[in-house]
Amino acid sequence: MSKQKEELEHRLKLRNIKLSDYNDIRDIMTSIYKEPGGAWTKEELKNQIKVFPEGQICIEDNGKVVAAALSLVVDYSKFGDNHTYDQITGFGKFDTHDENGDTLYGTDVFVSKDYRGMRLGRRLYDARKELCENLNLRSIIAGGRIPGYSKYADQMTPRKYIDLVKNKEVFDPVLSFQLANEFHVRKVITKYLPEDTDSRAYATLLEWINIYYEKEEKLIGNKKSIVRLGLVQWKMRRFNNVDDLMQQVEFFVDTVSGYKSDFCLLPEFFNAPLLAEFNDMDASEAIRNLADYTQEIVTRMRDLALSYNVNIIAGSMPEYDGKKLRNVSYLCRRDGTIDKQYKLHITPDEQAYWGLQGGNGIKVFDTDAGRIGILICYDVEFPELGRILAEQEMDILFVPFWTDTKNAYLRVSTCAKARAVENECYVAITGSVGNLPRVENMDIQHSQAVIYSPCDFSFPHDAVVAEASLNTETTIVADVDLDLLTKLRKAGSVRNLAQRRLDLYSIHWKKNKS
């Protein structure tokens, strides 16, 4: 891998701030807050970390801090609604922090200008909400700037301006973002930041209510229990180029991300419409030319995963290294990392038409929303693979597939459902619909996206969590509860994993061949 390529790869990590991050934080604050006060001093940041380390959160990329959010806990009754920024932060010392307080008070959120558009602010807000819930605090309160008000100050009151922003008649770079993140305006306060001339020293007093208040929860960064899956049932249509293809991909990624999905699953060979460009070639030559687009698509998928904060299982695409043509599914995590899983079993048609060869390895992938496996289409029809993944504590199995007829689809879907039952896991499958005239071996499609569960009392009676309409371009979004899998494995009506007769049989993975 070239040095230039390494420098372009993101490695996002959400974590608590350390004092050694000060230079990065100072540089961001100085570039953003040129007028209202500039950056915290190193001594101020040191004290903020000392009094409440859990509340100082940042996002790093390859070791460099690129965004941060600062907060403290206060007994809000001691301050009330008519406070100033300096009063509630103790002039930046955070000596107003009260570990027995009832409110998480947000003081600052800032993102490097080089990382605008990647929705890092939303990640920080979500982390704050998680912290508020897990510390069992009543709400998050913050004083919000309204920098866009300076353009309207001679025409209207702050309250009128806020109403226009709420109704989306006017865009404010701070308030519009906060409203989109489920905060509501309690009131307008004056002289909150006297030096903030853009806001004319006005501010909004914003609040987010913790509906789980009084419940005990864990702190940020722990394994999720409820995981939201977004499946794309993709329509095969003509695309002129990769840009056209990725425009449609981004539409669906945006759609499932809008519902705060943790995963977005695309079908096997979702990029097959680009084969139309090579209609004049032999099928085996055409698929190898299609493979030339794979790296570009993976890079752009990685960028979408980062920007939309969703882990993407990028269906599958052909990969050709000059000697072997293989079918590979890429996992593009929302932290910027990438993994891949090769298809192991090749169908007779895939071998005859294209000369595809199978991979020789399989593993479970760690994500921020559970341990997952990927089996591409035909592979799910081999029960040994699902069992090997289950033995590695897989929670969710993703199956991108492509099938042309109903009987082919039923082979995949029936086996996928069996994998969910026998391996006590969730299985999500999706394929393509529509037709591609004059694209050999990819001309017709048959699909119904489904999320399967184990079959016991805590799950749907038919083991179907959700299913899409047959042969229609659409998405399904549904939640799966990973804690239910733990309960099933320990106390289910039957326990397929625990009660295997390992004294009689086992599955042994042979050493990989080079």
- Asked if residues 231 and 451 have their Cβ atoms less than 8 Å apart, the reply is yes
- Cβ density class 389-408: b for 16+ within 10 Å, e for less: bbeeebbbbbbbbbbbeeeb
- The region of weakest confidence among 3-7, 140-144, 199-203, 342-346 is 3-7
CATH of the domain spanning 226-491: 3.60.110.10
Other beta carbons within 10 Å of 278: 17
Q: What is the pLDDT of residues 253-265, one digit of tens each?
A: 999 999 999 999 9
Q: How confident is the model over 77-130, as pLDDT tens digits? A: 888 888 888 899 988 889 899 999 999 999 999 999 999 889 999 999 999 999
Give me the residues paired with residue 53 across strands: none
pLDDT at 473 over 60: yes
Q: Please state the rounded mean pLDDT for residues 470-495.
A: 91
Tell me the per-residue pLDDT of 484-508, one tens digit each, with 9 for 90 and over: 998 898 778 998 988 899 889 999 8
Mean pLDDT for the stretch of residues 448-477: 96
Q: What pLDDT shows up at residue 190?
A: 84
Is 343 catalytic? The answer is yes
State the Cα angle at 12 between 326 and 479, rounded to 5°. 75
Q: Residue 379 — φ and ψ, nearest 5°? A: -60, -30
Annotated catalytic residue, options 340, 343, 424, 425: 343
CB 281 within 8 A of CB 91: no
Tell me what pLDDT residue 272 has.
92
pLDDT interval class at 198 (50, 70, 90): confident
Q: Is the pLDDT of residue 372 over 70?
A: yes
Q: Please give the Cα distance from 58 to 18 (Å, whole number).
A: 9
From the candidates 58, 132, 264, 377, which is the catalytic residue?
Answer: 377
Q: Tell me what the mean pLDDT of segment 446-464 comes to.
A: 95
Contact 143, 85 (CB under 8 A): yes
Mean pLDDT over 398-416 rounds to: 97
Span(s) in the chain for CATH 3.60.110.10 = 226-491
CA dihedral 326, 303, 9, 330 (to 10 degrees): -20
Could you please report the per-residue DSSP string of 348-396?
Answer: HHHHHHH----------EEEBTEEEEE--GGGGG-HHHHHHHHTTT--E
For the stretch 258-299, pLDDT in tens is 999 999 999 999 999 998 888 888 889 999 999 999 999 999
Q: What percent of the chain clears pLDDT 90, i.e. is strictly above it?
A: 70
Looking at the predicted structure, is the pLDDT value of residue 195 above 90? no
- Class of the 12-209 domain? alpha beta
Q: Which of 27-36, 112-121, 202-211 has the lowest mean pLDDT?
A: 27-36
pLDDT on residue 513: 46
Contacts of 492 (CB under 8 A, 6+ apart): 424, 454, 456
User: pLDDT tens digits, residue range 324-341?
Assistant: 999 999 999 999 999 999
pLDDT of residue 37 exceeding 90: no
Considering 60, 130, 133, 268, which one is annotated as catalytic? 268
What pairing do the DSSP bridges indicate for beta strands 325-332 and 311-313?
antiparallel
Give the pLDDT of residue 8.
64
Q: How confident is the model at residue 215 (pLDDT cuts 50, 70, 90)?
A: very low
Identify which of 167-176, 341-350, 491-500 has the greatest average pLDDT. 341-350
383-390 and 406-423 are packed helices; what angle lies between their axes, rounded to 10 degrees?
Answer: 30
pLDDT of residue 1: 46
- What is the per-residue pLDDT for 441? 65
**Beta-strand (E) ranges in 75-195?**
103-111, 139-144, 184-190
Mean residue pLDDT of the chain comes to 91
pLDDT confidence bin for 514, thresholds 50/70/90 = very low
Q: What angle do CA 170, 176, 179 make, to 5 degrees?
A: 130
Residue 212: its pLDDT value, please?
A: 80
Half-sphere exposure for 77 (CA within 13 Å, toward CB): 4
pLDDT value of position 327: 98
Residue 323 annotated to the active site: no
In the predicted model, what is the mean pLDDT of residues 374-402?
97
The ranges of the chain annotated as CATH 3.40.630.30 are: 12-209
User: Is 3 a residue whose pLDDT tops 60?
Assistant: no
**Reading across the β-sheet that carries 396-400, which strands appear in turn?**
365-367, 370-374, 396-400, 426-430, 450-452, 464-467
> How many angstroms separate the CA atoms of 197 and 191, rounded?
10
Whole-number Å distance between alpha carbons of 28 and 406: 56
Whether residue 511 is predicted with pLDDT greater than 70 in this model: the reply is no
User: 43 catalytic, yes or no?
Assistant: no
